[in-house]
Structure 1
Amino acid sequence: MKTLTTYLCKKAEKQKLFVPYIMAGAQGLGALTEEITMLAKNGAAAIELGVPFSDPVADGPIIQEAGLRALERKVTLKKIIERLQNFDSPVPLILMGYTNSFFHYGLEKLAEDLANTDVKGFIIPDLPYEHRDLVLPVFDQADLALLQLISLTSPKERIKTLLQAAEGFVYAVTINGTTGTGKNYRDNLDEHLAAITAESKIPVLAGFGVSERSHVERFNACCDGVVVGSKIVQSLYEEGIKETGKFVASLTTPMKQADAV
């Protein structure tokens, strides 16, 4: 079992998991380590770092705009990794990006350059399950988890297949479409998430559209935790790191209490 999977499984035994997403470099790479520290301080079990890309097919408008701001600041995958090589993160990091970025960098070089960082996994939305063997040999050798997304439209047999291959945590998508806030959830979503959680051997986290405490409490009741992205990305841009820390704390307070019991 890979390091990230073991860590999150043990963490999930004590508390619900909260995994925030931020776009690396949207406020400048100089702010990245401070943002990571703030999120860890306020309850993050792990942190997803978005890699800016010109055509992010899974991202909604807020994250797309953050990616464009990062690209305007000349943020690249290489510069992100260089920053992380000189920083000890309090929690594991997960790079979320697209195949073009990682293959252009070179998978072997990517694994080598990440060896002395706290990056322990990847989410690659445009890499189909059937093509995972393009990265697994390198990722397996480097102890890097490849996280699976399960969509609302996945048939039961497909879900079983994805769960068998899942590492780190299972990313259960809560809406059909892209990331963002103000989304409407379907009526039987809770039942769907509970069924996946019951079948999974590793933590299942709900993500896409999760933006307020009521969402967190709802999904904590039927799975192992949540992923929150767009709302945090927006807050960092509009409110700054201090106010964003308060917002994150408002989402994670119940989980901190559960951990202390």
Structure 2
Amino acid sequence: MTLQLRRDRPLLAPYVTGGIRPDWTDYLHEYARNGADAIEIGLPFSDPILDGPTIQEASDAALRRGVTVRGLLDEIAAVDVGVPLIAMTYYNLVVHRGAAEFCRDLAAAGIRGLIVPDLPVDESDPLASAAVAAGIELILLAAPTTPADRLAAIARASRGFVYAVSTMGTTGSTFAASGCRLAADLRQLTDQPVLLAFGIATHLDAVTAARSADGVVIGAALMRRVLDGGTPAELGAVLAGFRKALDEDGPDCVP
């Protein structure tokens, strides 16, 4: 399966921290069954600089369970959920394995995209080359403060989609209208889908964001429920609510 995303509806990409619970892959099935167009899987790292308290807590919980990248990839390889899977992790883990081998391992497990939030676009060529060779789409991030020339470079270099963050905070931050302006600017620079992330916590956030972007990534709002004991079926129902909201008309995002 490639990372070719459908364009006939607002895209919905939920997140789960790999290894958060022994049954964590059941969340993948429930997400896919309830309207996910792609699923982002966090590979836990001990110093996740872009992640807020909720995702950090989830990563810590997974690491305490003793999860490893190799173990998680083996679990991912054993499931087929029918939508593209995207890995999100930090460059330290890529370097530790070696870019070429890391990307080959992802591809062998069925991963089709990679997000490395601490990798700047002007240092991304080696990993981008390794990703292309392995059939992995390297997805780059853009922020509201990104200068115009750099924004254009990110739009040109990102593959699969462009990951736009609504604020300069961490995951779990309050959704900001600055993200809508960013998404609108990016859509003028690329034919790739633009997905808006950070702070998408309510149906209103999601439909507002999707009026300027091609879709949304929902992370901390889902992981908070998982950490509080939400079952895969319960999280599937939550995602179904977001899917329904996105498929209905929502308010314009005013820049």
Equivalent residue for 1:230? 220
**How big is the shift at 1:200?**
1.9
Residues 231-255 of structure 1 show CA distances to partners (whole Å, capped at 9, x for unaligned) of: 1111122122222111111101144
Residues 201-243 of structure 1 show CA distances to partners (whole Å, capped at 9, x for unaligned) of: 1000110011110011101111101000001111122122222
Residue number among 102, 105, 110 corresponding to 2:102 in the alignment: 110
Equivalent residue for 1:174? 166
Give the direction of change, closer, same or farther, for the CA distance of 1:185–1:108 in structure 2 (3 Å limit): closer
1: CA distance between counterparts of 2:59 and 2:232?
18
Decide whether the 8 Å contact of 1:36 with 1:89 is kept in 2.
yes
Equivalent residue for 2:16? 22
**How big is the shift at 1:3?**
3.3
Decide whether the 8 Å contact of 1:91 with 1:118 is kept in 2.
no
1: CA distance between counterparts of 2:49 and 2:115?
13
Residue number among 135, 142, 145 corresponding to 1:143 in the alignment: 135
2: CA distance between counterparts of 1:88 and 1:244?
19
Tell me which moved more, 112-121 or 16-25: 112-121
Decide whether the 8 Å contact of 2:18 with 2:42 is kept in 1.
yes
Q: Which amino acid aligns with 1:142?
A: A
RMSD of aligned alpha carbons: 1.8
Residues 123-156 of structure 1 show CA distances to partners (whole Å, capped at 9, x for unaligned) of: 0011111111221222111110110100111011
Give the direction of change, closer, same or farther, for the CA distance of 1:257–1:189 in structure 2 (3 Å limit): closer
Residue number among 181, 204, 207 corresponding to 1:214 in the alignment: 204
Tell me, which stretches of 5 or more residues in structure 2 are unaligned? Answer: 250-255
**How big is the shift at 1:111?**
3.1
Which protein has the bigger helix share? 1
**How big is the shift at 1:103?**
1.9
Tell me, which stretches of 5 or more residues in structure 1 are unaligned? Answer: none
Equivalent residue for 1:3? 2
Tell me which moved more, 72-81 or 196-205: 196-205
SS at match of 1:154: coil
Question: What TM-score results when the alignment is normalised by the length of structure 2?
Answer: 0.91
Do structure 1's residue 205 and structure 2's residue 199 form an aligned pair?
no
Matches within 5 A, 1:119-134: 119-134=111-126
2: CA distance between counterparts of 1:200 and 1:21?
24
Tell me which moved more, 197-206 or 105-114: 105-114
Residue number among 79, 85, 94 corresponding to 2:77 in the alignment: 85
Decide whether the 8 Å contact of 1:27 with 1:237 is kept in 2.
no
Residue number among 89, 99, 120 corresponding to 1:97 in the alignment: 89
**How big is the shift at 1:161?**
1.1
Matches within 5 A, 1:242-257: 242-255=233-246
Q: Which amino acid aligns with 1:237?
A: L
